[in-house]
Structure 1
């Protein structure tokens, strides 16, 4: 209703920049939360920006880091009578590597004498799937849980299907692929893996089998906002701004979208870029420069791909958080249950399933006794390794300084994502266009990795430019375009 017009929605960084009264730039303000926590404590920000807030709701509270928690504390002290509601699930804390900790859930409850409500009703999963995930938690999570001895309760009375296939050998990708072919799952389907490499290969093999598949994967080292097509769109739409407030005229926005589609018609990244642009458009009827920059600073590739009927979504378990599927296939090839966080990651993956759960593992013993409609079988076959391998390169896999060379920079300007590249006859780390223009050189470490595959009877089948991203050289301050390739190898008997 009308109350929605009085609600402001921010990320932590977005609210910090708003309090600071300036445009967000995450690259230059890595410590913005710490800075603003101190500024709030020292009353260095205008009081009205905080006193105008009567309620603060913090979502995904299990994922807060120390800097975010101290920022919340500073706001609570400054705002006085503000009501604070935090929502979180300690069993889904899977970002400890980013500094997230569930200890802040306990500290918050103790410090503010908070009243705790347990939302135990589960409307997502079939009854036996919830029994299975509850048992997994009790058997595996040994640290003190906030929800210890509190089970989720299924609102659905029907059972789904659970299949566990325990393999006695390595190579689980081909049997999982065969499982999908046999079942022909209906509705939304997710294939969840431990590593990016497994997700990339699984997607490739599904497509080779004629099955519609979409991949969610992102190599570390660059932000989505630095993908060249997004940079190009940003530059063009900002160049058309004539309003002092930074308002982007609707006509200019639409014209730039049309120009984007024409200029990058051959780019394999265009679909993703269109999703980024369209999502912003849907939630911002009026478009401002500041909002667009703030939006780009927070966007992640997984935000733009949702489960769709009859399309298999392939992702790492981490990136599947927040999504749900009718059918979930888990690929657990020697998955290490060595830490509480890794156990919680697997719990998150299990709970993505609404109706049916299929697990392929060669190392984990899952609970089976008392779980209804659970089928367990063992596979003692030694499956072959896939005949195809796909490697996606990140920033660390290419020689960055090579792109600073004037002739190379000029060659890259004529390239689009998806364009095929060819290996130099004499320099195995150098790749060219079909007309012989130098484009990229692999890093020494990746070249060694590639040679290891060649020694195992793999050969190069194809390489193409997957992403073109803008990289800022910290030494010179200059920005250059970097080509990140996807390498496909095939095994030769």
Structure 2
């Protein structure tokens, strides 16, 4: 609800509006005419008295619901500040991507009536990390660092951490010590969440908890190495900035450089970023943050919803809270369903999204038998909507984690339907899946040097040199004389090598029947996965899926051939689109879909164990984030929303072609009381066959109930 203060501010600003002779509005009248009352209140709050000198500008929190025009509102507020006398060089605008900062600057320029070439600069618009790097170079001499410091990316940081790891002898321990990637993830989590190392280990990395003392000494050596080499890593940029503004006099000096600090997507900030803002503006003067607590879904990156929930109480008097609740994206039936899902949250800023698109179909809850039927149903619906005139690009399939799209991807490939996947690699591009396929390929063809080189390095104690030496021996040996377990490897690695050699031999032609050979490889790899990867749990699920898929093929050759006929197009978190002029379906994790919208949206696996994830049921905070994740997925849809509910999931630890399965319940976030918000259907529709009545047939009557009783007499 918009308060009277905001309405009065908007009205006073509106009274000073004018249009210049060149036709481009430089005063607010034309600019804010298209905004709704809540947006105008947010644009004008606290800045009506700025002309005539520095004034106090109370802290402002704008709760911007999904599809409510958040970006436009923030750009209008920046333009309004400049129009009312604020110097662009004294405005600090913080976003989460450089593209967002550039787009905001362009919008502000257009709103102020300057053509692109004459757009007033916003020199301090950028990401938290980009602005941090600039400030640290300016103040380097005063905080004890070299202004010519280098910045390491994640790979550089992991390599430097690995050097410290080797130097301290941790890589030579009898028990496996966490790999460099895991160590860096732990280090980053401690800094960004501002939580003690022991607590981070217990909650997020329990398999590393026994190494707490060693990790602490490793991080101490890592910091010493960075300082000796005058380098900062990605996390250091925020850490140094927070420490710098935490020094009273220096913090006031840096905060005083900016009359206004404006932050986009505040719900995605971590504790370090919140500390930076409070260090620069401890009284909140000139501080505006925009976000939506209902869309806080990045805890795995260190973000915390507490930042936005607690923001008003950091100041005295509390910060003003204004709400944008008009949605310009979805139909009202979709918003009604989403509103009622998020209304069950334990703590939130109250808002109910509404739309002028009052009519439309309710969201669908579609029950299917299993994941195979889910894939078939979704693909058929996508094609049906395409035939009805809705382009593939206007449709999206969303899922909780990347492996949930495996069946969909295979079905799309089978039907030759182009698609782009956002959020995680395509299934067949993931490193752990490629590892398993490399073992299978090498077992099928020992002369496949690339497969062998990758597969051998999965064995503890086997590195590139040992792998190359073994491959050279194999290349020079006669086929009948190849004895893999007798190849030259280090003595310490020989027990693990012999186990691996037997595994590879069993994958050969005419050895272990298919798909038992694949199941054995998958089991072996799952035993190694903690050692090989820092995030083993989601990768375990991918390997289980691979075993299920393998069981649907008659032999290894067919399986490997069909999975490699269409090689991956890219190896980044965006799988890469087909040709730019080609239509293609969107596949996306819900995390990657945030900020996007499509006419039709399908949400896969809307069942307990998937949404919420079974790994998130251990704490209330994690469950609440899962609720927000479903809300984000639902509010991506403009017109059509379908939530798919597979009724059973096959168990992978079973003999080939088994039918062990578990039944799944509808997500707990849509309890029975909310079902009137949805259309419910089952697919495929049940087919009842009724035999024609035959009045001349003699019908026998059997008293089976008496027979059952007689068994126990």
TM-score of the pair, normalised by structure 1: 0.54
CA gap 1:75/1:24 in 2 versus in 1, 3 angstroms: farther
Supply the distance in 1 between the matched residues of 2:261 and 2:575 (Cα, whole angstroms): 26
Deviation at 1:181, TM superposition (A): 2.9
Question: What secondary structure is seen at the aligned counterpart in 1 of 2:342?
Answer: helix
Residue matched to 2:594 = 321
CA gap 1:9/1:217 in 2 versus in 1, 3 angstroms: same
Deviation at 1:201, TM superposition (A): 4.3
Alignment of 1:244-393 (within 5 A): 268-269=569-570, 301=574, 310-332=583-605, 334=607, 335-337=610-612, 338=617, 339-362=623-646, 363-364=665-666, 366=670, 369-371=675-677, 374-379=678-683
Supply the distance in 1 between the matched residues of 2:395 and 2:331 (Cα, whole angstroms): 15
- Retained in 1: the 8 A contact 2:382–2:395? no
- Retained in 1: the 8 A contact 2:600–2:641? yes
Residue matched to 2:382 = 180
Supply the distance in 2 between the matched residues of 1:17 and 1:301 (Cα, whole angstroms): 27
CA gap 1:192/1:109 in 2 versus in 1, 3 angstroms: same
Residue 18, structure 1, aligned to residue 134, structure 2: yes
Residue 95, structure 1, aligned to residue 298, structure 2: yes
Deviation at 1:197, TM superposition (A): 2.0
- Retained in 2: the 8 A contact 1:127–1:160? no
Between 1 and 2, higher relative CO (CA 8 Å, sep ≥ 6) is seen in 1
Q: Considering only aligned residues, what root-mean-square deviation do their CA atoms show, in Å? A: 3.6
Residue 195, structure 1, aligned to residue 401, structure 2: yes
TM-score of the pair, normalised by structure 2: 0.38
Supply the distance in 1 between the matched residues of 2:631 and 2:385 (Cα, whole angstroms): 24
CA gap 1:163/1:336 in 2 versus in 1, 3 angstroms: closer
Which structure shows the bigger proportion of residues in helix conformation? 2
Give per-residue Cα distances to partners, 1:15-70, cap 9 Å, x unaligned: 11111015644444223312221112326969876533221111111111111111
CA gap 1:14/1:130 in 2 versus in 1, 3 angstroms: same
CA gap 1:333/1:122 in 2 versus in 1, 3 angstroms: closer
Deviation at 1:169, TM superposition (A): 4.0
Residue matched to 2:263 = 58
Greater Rg, structure 1 or structure 2?
Answer: 2
Supply the distance in 2 between the matched residues of 1:308 and 1:357 (Cα, whole angstroms): 26
Residue 215, structure 1, aligned to residue 421, structure 2: yes
Supply the distance in 1 between the matched residues of 2:254 and 2:313 (Cα, whole angstroms): 27
- Retained in 2: the 8 A contact 1:63–1:94? yes
Deviation at 1:333, TM superposition (A): 6.0
Deviation at 1:380, TM superposition (A): 7.0
Question: What secondary structure is seen at the aligned counterpart in 1 of 2:262?
Answer: strand
CA gap 1:354/1:81 in 2 versus in 1, 3 angstroms: closer
Give per-residue Cα distances to partners, 1:267-310, cap 9 Å, x unaligned: 9349x8xxxxxxxxxxxxxxxxxxxxxxxxxxx749999x9994
Alignment of 1:144-155 (within 5 A): 144-147=347-350, 150-155=351-356
CA gap 1:46/1:129 in 2 versus in 1, 3 angstroms: closer
Residue 156, structure 1, aligned to residue 429, structure 2: no
Supply the distance in 2 between the matched residues of 1:308 and 1:170 (Cα, whole angstroms): 32
In the alignment, structure 1 segments of 5+ residues that lack a partner are 223-265, 273-299, 383-493
- Retained in 1: the 8 A contact 2:245–2:254? no
Deviation at 1:358, TM superposition (A): 1.5
CA gap 1:183/1:198 in 2 versus in 1, 3 angstroms: same
Supply the distance in 1 between the matched residues of 2:576 and 2:272 (Cα, whole angstroms): 24
Supply the distance in 1 between the matched residues of 2:577 and 2:254 (Cα, whole angstroms): 32
Give per-residue Cα distances to partners, 1:94-125, cap 9 Å, x unaligned: 11222222222233211222100011111110
CA gap 1:48/1:93 in 2 versus in 1, 3 angstroms: same
CA gap 1:199/1:167 in 2 versus in 1, 3 angstroms: closer
- Retained in 2: the 8 A contact 1:302–1:319? no
Supply the distance in 1 between the matched residues of 2:260 and 2:285 (Cα, whole angstroms): 5
Alignment of 1:29-108 (within 5 A): 29=233, 30-42=235-247, 50-77=255-282, 82-108=285-311
Give per-residue Cα distances to partners, 1:181-201, cap 9 Å, x unaligned: 333361411111122123354
Give per-residue Cα distances to partners, 1:125-165, cap 9 Å, x unaligned: 01111111112222xx3311122xx2111132332452221
Supply the distance in 1 between the matched residues of 2:242 and 2:309 (Cα, whole angstroms): 21
Which structure shows the bigger proportion of residues in strand conformation? 1
Deviation at 1:321, TM superposition (A): 0.8
- Retained in 2: the 8 A contact 1:161–1:355? no
Matched length: 302
Question: What secondary structure is seen at the aligned counterpart in 1 of 2:604?
Answer: strand
Supply the distance in 1 between the matched residues of 2:363 and 2:581 (Cα, whole angstroms): 22
Residue matched to 1:114 = 319
CA gap 1:380/1:190 in 2 versus in 1, 3 angstroms: closer
CA gap 1:267/1:194 in 2 versus in 1, 3 angstroms: closer
Residue 165, structure 1, aligned to residue 366, structure 2: yes
